[in-house]
Chain A
């Protein structure tokens, strides 16, 4: 029996785009809105007819999205797809919702004709993340009382005032003390991170010399450096301008990066801290002579609760670099790593030298309505 292919009705692309559950906006190569679907109009509380023909920046008014569009236009689309770093927080129909925004080049016959913006509702994940953060914060907080009595008890025993410990007893007591301190650091990191994610940690900006920061940062690490016979080189050019940062938090980044470097550097190795001025920012590097990090992990290591296997055991919660990233970004800077396997690792981050730059970060976190 002959099989007759039934003719299917043509589906219009416009109808498809209008029906997408994701908000979709298309601009031309001059950043003028040429298409906006129902969902996007709802998200940004816009009249789709009025907004077509308007500049994206005028209609939507979000700086980081506008900048992402401009970057695509100026590079002719030869840049990586832009994921806007933070989720957008928007009130839709009286309810608070969160959207992940992605901006991609729109290419026709190998030429850039515009950009496509996609807004995916991630409210569900965002809420789950908040509940988890709240839980982590509560648990870390509850750990502090038992930790206090453990730390007090073991330090009193080790001080020798209560009993003279020796041999294996001393080693056992020392082990409790070491791990109580490790647990204290972990709990502190967890609490700091969840509070930072929730935006609860305030930034107190001041002008600080990088050399001073480095000096303070390495004080708690001197014993560890000595124990592994690691040579620490500090290369800071004279005349490097002061950075405008929250000194405690920025110093914490350095301590954390150097502590990581010590952990992964073999005995007798070398760690270099250097700084330089470039593009009106101070670039600070911490380079080690450890086993290095495979390029496929370069981004992943900055994610929370992430530990890359195979680089030696570290026993952390995988939060140090995630906190460092939060702090750097809160200063309007960037942090990244350059490394190849067996060639050491170089962590680099930028800090601002003047006060105006930090404020950018805050205004980008909310979407203003057109």
Chain B
């Protein structure tokens, strides 16, 4: 069965690139445009993995991550943080909140897929 990925990102061109990249690798993709939307779709779509941008309108990535990890129904879903805020304190904060991995923007499709495969394999 196809693995389901929830992509939480508000930049539409990045959404386009990541979506094509994941679909061509045989993954199923749902998109959420902000943190609040992400929390709703986590409940309905039950993804196998979340790709989460940190800087977003409404509910930012770190707050969404925290809310997700505090909810028993969603806390075990692995999260890979995607962010332009490649500063050490953000990585540290995301890891403390329970992110499985971190990708600093910009990244190449093969790098993204390698990290996704690794995180999915660890979760099995």
A interface vs B, CB < 8 Å?
141-142, 144-153, 155-156, 159, 161-162, 180, 184, 191, 195, 200-202
Contacts and interface: CB of A to CB of B under 8 A. Distances in A.
B24 A152 contact: no
Given A146-B13, A149-B11, A149-B13, A155 B108 contact: yes
B88 interface: yes
Contacts of B87: 195, 200
B1 interface: no
Which of A152, A180, A201, A202 has its CB near the most chain B CB atoms (within 10 A)?
A152
Contacts of A144: 84, 86, 104-106
Given A159-B109, A161-B24, A162-B20, A152 B14 contact: yes
Given A148-B105, A148-B107, A156 B21 contact: yes
Interface string B75-107: 000000000111110000000000000001111
Given A142-B84, A150-B106, A156-B24, 15 more contacts: A144-B106, A145-B14, A145-B105, A148-B14, A148-B105, A148-B106, A149-B11, A149-B14, A151-B108, A152-B106, A152-B108, A156-B17, A159-B110, A162-B20, A184-B106
Nearest to A137: B87
Contacts of B17: 148-149, 152-153, 156
24 contacts: A142-B84, A144-B86, A144-B104, A144-B105, A145-B11, A145-B105, A146-B13, A147-B105, A147-B106, A148-B14, A149-B17, A152-B18, A152-B20, A152-B21, A152-B108, A153-B16, A155-B108, A155-B110, A156-B21, A191-B86, A195-B87, A200-B87, A201-B88, A202-B88
A147 B82 CA distance: 13
Contacts of B104: 144
B19 to A, nearest CB: 10
A23 B87 CA distance: 39
B88 A153 contact: no
Nearest to B112: A152
A145 B88 CA distance: 18
A141 B85 contact: yes
A150 B14 CA distance: 8
Contacts of B106: 144, 147-148, 150-152, 180, 184
Which of A142, A150, A155, A180 has its CB near the most chain B CB atoms (within 10 A)?
A155
Contacts of B86: 144, 191
A1 B10 CA distance: 88
A161 B25 CA distance: 10
Given A156-B17, A156-B20, A145 B84 contact: yes
Closest 7 CB pairs of A and B: A152-B17, A149-B13, A144-B84, A148-B106, A147-B106, A148-B105, A144-B105
A184 B18 CA distance: 18
A202 B106 CA distance: 22
B105 A155 contact: no
B73 to A, nearest CB: 30
A293 B50 CA distance: 51
Interface string B18-31: 10110010000000
Which of A145, A156, A162 has its CB near the most chain B CB atoms (within 10 A)?
A145
B13 A155 contact: no
A152 B109 contact: yes
Contacts of A148: 11, 14, 17, 84, 105-107
Given A148-B14, A161-B24, A162-B20, A156 B109 contact: yes
Contacts of B85: 141
A201 B88 CA distance: 8
A142 B86 CA distance: 12
Interface in B26-49: none
Contacts of A200: 87
Contacts of A145: 11, 14, 84, 105
A246 to B, nearest CB: 12
A180 B108 CA distance: 11
Contacts of A202: 88
Contacts of B13: 146, 149, 153
A222 to B, nearest CB: 18
Contacts of A141: 84-85
A149 B11 CA distance: 9
Contacts of A146: 13
B107 A151 contact: yes
Contacts of B20: 152, 156, 162
